Structure 1
Amino acid sequence: MVSQKDSGYRKNFSLIVTFIGLISVVFILSLFLAFNFSKKNIENDFVSAKANVLEESIKPYNDFFLNKLPEISFYNGYLDSASASKFTDTILMQYPFVSRVTFYDTEVKNERYEDHGINLGDFAIGMKNVYQFGKSVHKDSVRLFGQNEAVKGAGLEDFNPVTLKLINFIQKLDTTKVPTQEDLFSNFTDIRHNRIDYFNIPSFEILKVYKRMISTKLETEPVYQQDMLSFELDPNKIKIKNTRPLLYQNIRIEPITYDPIDTTSEYITGEITLGGPFSDYKLYFTSSRDFVKKEIFSFFWPIAALLLLFYGVLVLVAFLIYRNLNINHKMFKLQYDFVTNLTHEFKTPVSVIKIAGNNIKSATSLSEKEQKLYGKILDEEADKLNGLMNKLLAFTQIENKAITLNKDSVTIEDFIESSLDAYALKYPDFEVSYEVSGFKTFITDPVLLGSLFDNLAENAYKYSPVNKKKLHITARMIKDRIVLRFRDEGIGIPSSEINNIFKKFYRIQNRYNQNGSVGLGLAFCKELVNFMNGEISVKSVVDKGTEFKIVLPYNN
């Protein structure tokens, strides 16, 4: 039966080992897949996060284009060189990518221009003055053109394209419908390579007058002021905002045609077009694979930690199952040994009683001596059976709190003396001495106290060599507590077994308890002491002896 049970436990342990091996393989595979997922995710981020870098980098340009340019219209065409200089100074300071601004002070009239203007019917738009502003512009070159003056420098070619665009819009204008702000902005703005030209936007009523001026000579011969600013942009002055510094090692602006031939497989590259006036340029991204690996691992470690936590939980569950199986296995073995020893304990007196009974039965006549002998044998063996059953019953009752303390006054010296007399009759070769100090009587249950003394004395006698069957008992009062010590000179208890000796059915494997030990003696003592609201402890040295210390409450 035991071998079958052991085989079952071995199978369970094999299943646990197999389970741990399986989850370990799954864990390693999960780590591999998690790393590949992290790598793929970061590579995808390398592609998708470029748009965020572009968006953040061109935010100043968008602010300039959508918010600052329309401010020109607030002047209603009445910008002069001073106000234009002040306006452009704020732009040059706020937007470093604006390198130069050309201001065209123009006017629209119902009279044709002979020079430096564009005419369509009786509609004419021409330049009065042209100024240039910028950090690199020399002070002598600020004014490029004035009425009745020659052109001093380049830049006048920017006037014609946007002016023709404006005239084309006026020519097609539907005077019955107010144009949208989007239509106005797109037709009064011209975006070219590294340049933006912008005319201030007049009111709808003025636009209708402009349209009439194309085909009609108005009596009032009106003259309107128009301001045009041409902004020269430098894409290399755009401040790149690297929103993913752990992903992009280097970002720079390159021409759209840039295609390096010396890029090796050790680098990951990407690009995205700037757009607008910078459409001939792109953001060029480069990162070494070792650099990107850091980001991959920063993404991978939290996943690995979760997988490790899950794996740890599974291993812990497997360990707890293993531990419970191991405990159950030990408990089964203890119970099996208990039943075996208990059977032996019962079988020996029963066999003796049966033999004595058979002898009495088969004898034709018994002498007085034989009658006394068989009577003594039957009486002793019956006492053994009764004592064993009483111990089992008492242990069960105490463990289940099924009995109550029957307290009485105990004179400690008389109690010990009576116990010693009983030991002398039972164990003639047992030397027992005692010492009492600090008190004479105390209140306790004398029956339970007697069981405690008997078990510890029997234990001392049983586990002592033939020539060292000695026990010294001390009873002292220490700080209102009764302290009892039972010190023998027996074989001692190994330190590895100290924590187990008070467990039920537990037996230390040695030659002194091969037979006749149930494994309840010290467990019974511990239950007794706990039931009496006390404490029990032990210290022992192998081959030197053992001392049990019992502390009980003092009631008097």
Structure 2
Amino acid sequence: MASERYSGYRKNFLLILTFIVLISALFVLSLFLAYNFSKKFIENEFVSEKVKVLEESIKPYNEFFTNKVPEISYYNGYLDSATTAKFVDTVLNDYPFVSKVVFYDSEINNFYVKDGLNARKHFSFGPKNIYQFGDFVPLDSVKLFSKENTKNFTIGDDFNALGIKFISYIAALDTGKVPSQDELFTNFSIIRSNKITYLNIPRIEDLKVYKQMLHRQLNPMPVYQQDMLSFFLDPYKIRIINTRKKLYQNIRIEPLTYDPLNTSTDYVATEITLPGPFSDYKLYFISAKSFVDQEILSYFLPIALVILVFYGLLVLVAYLIYRNLNINHKMFKLQYDFVNNLTHEFKTPVSVIKIAGNNIKSANTLTERELKLYGKILDEEADKLNGLMNKLLAFTQIENKAIQLNRDEIYIEDFIESTVESHQLKHPDFNVTYEVSGFITFITDPVLLGSLFDNLVENAYKYSPPELKRLHISAKLVKGKVIFRFIDQGIGIPTPEINNIFKKFYRIQNQYNQNGSVGLGLAFCKELVNFMKGEITVKSKVNKGTEFKIVLPYNN
């Protein structure tokens, strides 16, 4: 008990337990913080990722606005109804959000016109013909206006608004400078709600002539062709591209004035305004809170797994340290018991030898009977010391492979009978029986096999009650293997101890092991069997008996 109390292991175990409790608390705290971080991150993503959805969804519109609309200028004002119809067909096919196109086949004159805009009496801008194109436009409604037949059609605000903007730009134009493309594009187009009106951009030489026409009549009076197109847009035809399907459960286009009736806390929502001509509308994002929670969980789980792996590594390290300390603790106890028992094993014969020697030295005369008695005592105790030393030496030699395995042929029945007789002479109350079947001779190392038999037979006697000191030895040849069985009726081995009995210096705590055991016998047997390329196993029941089974190669 003193060795356990002062060995220091108990404090180390408490330290490891404290360490595990601490890292477990940190593990729980880390999971809590990781979940809160995941929740905050996904909530921020819910608000910020809508920009990416908007960008992806309006890519077709941006392409239409920056690439398709400016194509009108390539025709330099000489679009006709047929060419415009083909152009509109490609627009309607590629850009479903364009619902209708109105084409103004227009002229710029140096004289007054009835239908159109007139500025400073010398400059006029008016349509020759107006057409409309679209999937749902009736064939008889394609042509809306002509100089010859107006059909009581009012030219409309689109034409007038862009015309006034165009004339104002001409009036303020600095002909000494070359205008930029952005400047021209801005002044030759108008973006309104659900509509883009675009006037083809003339050449810079034409713009200079337009400025002259604005101030006076030219001779001869020139006429220039200008094409204007109004694109009617349907925001509900924009194809929404949900780039975060696991975050946004539902995305739809709603008017800016849309106010959802459902304000339940079971849902989360956000919105973003559409650009340009769709600015009266917004993308409206809504997801059930349980749907967002799934995304939070999917983001949290990998983080939790990393934390769990790290925690597992720390627990594994703690376990390995604990196991190492536990092994050291057991080894310390085994070594302590070994030293005590070995000291006792040496002390007893040494004491007997010393007593016998003192008696011989102090006696004046010794009878022949006394001389024989003291001689026998000295011889027996010397044999005990020699046997113990030989066992330790043999154990060390076998462990270090310092001896060679001899191969002699033995008659197995003679060998077993010799072993049985020697132990029955030593222990007259020991009843040993044996049987042999399947073979007569056996090539092996007789010294090592004898040591193996002696240890197992001696154990059977030692660990059996006085009334049950019985042992049965069987030797059989089965499928090229020699199988020895040693079956006693002793006290048996507890099941938890089965895996420990072959360990060096290990002793089972019972009334038979209080004195006279070093814990080397079965460990020595295990090493012997391994050295002889065999295997040893044990079956036992407490208070019923034990069976040791040894399997050795036959004549290999």
TM-score, length-normalised on structure 2? 0.93
CA distance in 1, matches of 2:271, 2:214: 48
Offset at residue 547 of structure 1 (A) = 2.4
- Could you say which residue in structure 2 is the equivalent of 1:131? 131
Q: Which residue of 2 aligns with 1:535?
A: 535
Between the aligned residues of both structures, percent identity stands at: 69
Matching of residue 474 in structure 1 with residue 474 in structure 2: yes
Which residue is equivalent to 2:83? 83
Q: How many angstroms apart in 1 are the aligned matches of 2:118 and 2:299?
A: 63
Task: Output the CA distance in 2 between the equivalents of 1:389 and 1:5.
Answer: 32
Tell me if 1:145 matches 2:145.
Answer: yes
Separation (CA, whole Å) in 1 of partners of 2:524 and 2:274:
88
The one-character-per-residue Cα deviations of 1:21-47 (angstroms, maximum 9, x if unpaired) are 111111111111111111111121122
Say which SS state the counterpart of residue 499 (structure 2) adopts.
helix
Does the 8 Å CA contact 2:27/2:311 hold for their aligned counterparts?
A: yes
Kindly report which structure 2 residues correspond to 1:181-192, keeping only aligned pairs within 5 A, or say none. 181-192=181-192
**How many Å separate the matches in 2 of 1:152 and 1:380?**
143
Measured after TM superposition, the shift of residue 273 of structure 1 is 1.8
d(CA) in 1 for partners of 2:237, 2:382: 111
The corresponding residue for 1:520 is: 520
* CA gap 1:305/1:46 in 2 versus in 1, 3 angstroms: same
Q: Please report how far the alpha carbon of residue 139 of structure 1 lies from its aligned counterpart in structure 2 after TM superposition.
A: 4.5
**Alignment match, 1:203:** 203
CA contact (8 A) 2:111 2:121 kept: no
Q: Report if aligned partners of 2:268, 2:287 keep a CA contact under 8 Å in 1.
A: yes
Q: Distance in 2 between matches of 1:462 and 1:5?
A: 32
Q: Relative to structure 2, which stretch is displaced further, 242-251 or 20-29?
A: 242-251
Secondary structure, counterpart of 2:511 in structure 1: coil
Residues 349 and 381 in structure 1, CA contact (< 8 A), matched pair in contact too: yes
* Map of 1:46 onto structure 2: 46
Q: Which structure 2 residues correspond to residues 19-418 of structure 1 after superposition, within 5 A?
A: 19-120=19-120, 122-150=122-150, 152-153=152-153, 156-215=156-215, 217-258=217-258, 263-418=263-418
Q: After alignment, is 138-147 or 172-181 more displaced? A: 172-181
Q: Deviations over 1:291-323 (max 9, x none)?
A: 322222221111111111111111121122222
1:444, distance to aligned residue in structure 2 (A): 2.4
Q: Where do 5+ consecutive residues of structure 1 fail to align?
A: none
Query: Does the Cα contact within 8 Å between 1:117 and 1:127 map onto a contact in 2?
Result: no
Following superposition of structure 1 onto structure 2, how do residues 377-526 of structure 1 map, counting pairs within 5 Å?
377-526=377-526
Deviations 1:401-451 (A, max 9, x none): 122223333232332333233223211222223333333333322221211
Q: What is the Cα deviation at residue 4 of structure 1?
A: 4.7
* Contact preservation (8 Å) 2:116, 2:124: no
What code does the residue aligned with 2:109 have?
K
Checking the alignment, whether the CA contact within 8 Å between 1:169 and 1:187 is kept in structure 2 is yes
Looking at structure 2, the residues matched to 477 and 266 of structure 1 have their Cα atoms a distance apart, in angstroms, of 79
Counterpart CA distance in 1 for 2:311 and 2:532 is 47
Whichever residue aligns with residue 202 of structure 1, its letter is P
- Offset of residue 137 of structure 1: 4.0
Letter aligned with residue 311 of structure 2: Y
SS at match of 2:232: strand
CA contact (8 A) 1:162 1:188 kept: yes
In the alignment, structure 2 segments of 5+ residues that lack a partner are none
Letter aligned with residue 42 of structure 2 = I
For the 8 Å contact 1:476–1:484, the answer to whether it is kept is: yes
* Cα shift readout 1:108-155 (whole Å, capped 9, x = no counterpart): 233332442333563332111112233454544433221043454455
CA contact under 8 A between 1:537 and 1:549: conserved in structure 2? yes
Q: Are the aligned partners of 1:141 and 1:152 in contact in 2 as well (CA < 8 Å)?
A: no
> How many residues are paired up?
556
Tell me the distance in 1 between the aligned counterparts of 2:94 and 2:52: 22
* Aligned equivalents of 1:48, 1:14: Cα separation in 2: 50
Distance of 2:293 and 2:64 partners within structure 1: 38
Distance 1:314 1:226 in 2: 79
Q: CA deviation at 1:395?
A: 0.7
1:425 is paired with a residue whose SS is helix
Instruction: Quote how far apart the aligned CAs of 1:393 are.
Output: 1.2
The CA deviation at 1:261 is 7.7
How far is 1:464 from its partner?
1.8
Q: Secondary structure at the match of 1:499?
A: coil
Distance 1:266 1:535, change over 3 A: closer
8 Å CA contact 1:102, 1:155 repeated in 2: no
Letter in 1 for 2:221: E
CA deviation after TM superposition for structure 1 residue 357, in Å: 2.3
Match for 1:550: what amino acid? Answer: I
Which stretch of the first structure deviates more once superposed, 127-136 or 38-47? 127-136
Deviations 1:220-243 (A, max 9, x none): 433222110112223233333332
Which string of whole-angstrom CA distances, capped at 9 and with x for unpartnered residues, describes residues 338-372 of structure 1?
22221221121122222222322333322221222
Q: Distance in 2 between matches of 1:539 and 1:59?
A: 80
Distance 1:36 1:153, change over 3 A: farther
2:117/2:125 contact within 8 Å kept: yes
Output one character per residue of 1:504-545: Cα deviation in whole Å (capped at 9) or x when no partner. Answer: 112222222222111111110111111122222222333333
Indicate conservation of the 8 Å contact 1:16/1:318, yes or no.
yes
**Is contact 2:255-2:280 (8 Å) kept?**
yes
Q: For residues 288 and 420 of structure 1, what CA distance do their matches in structure 2 show?
A: 86
Root-mean-square deviation (Å):
2.5
CA distance in 2, matches of 1:211, 1:265: 63
Which secondary structure does the structure 2 equivalent of 1:84 belong to?
helix
Range that drifts further, 87-96 or 222-231: 87-96
* 3-state SS of paired residue (1:168): helix
Summarize deviations over 1:194-226 as a string: whole Å, max 9, x none: 221111223333333333433454444332221
Aligned amino acid, residue 45 of structure 1: E
Change (3 A) 1:264 1:153: farther
Amino acid corresponding to residue 433 of structure 2 in structure 1: S
Partner of 1:105, secondary structure, is strand
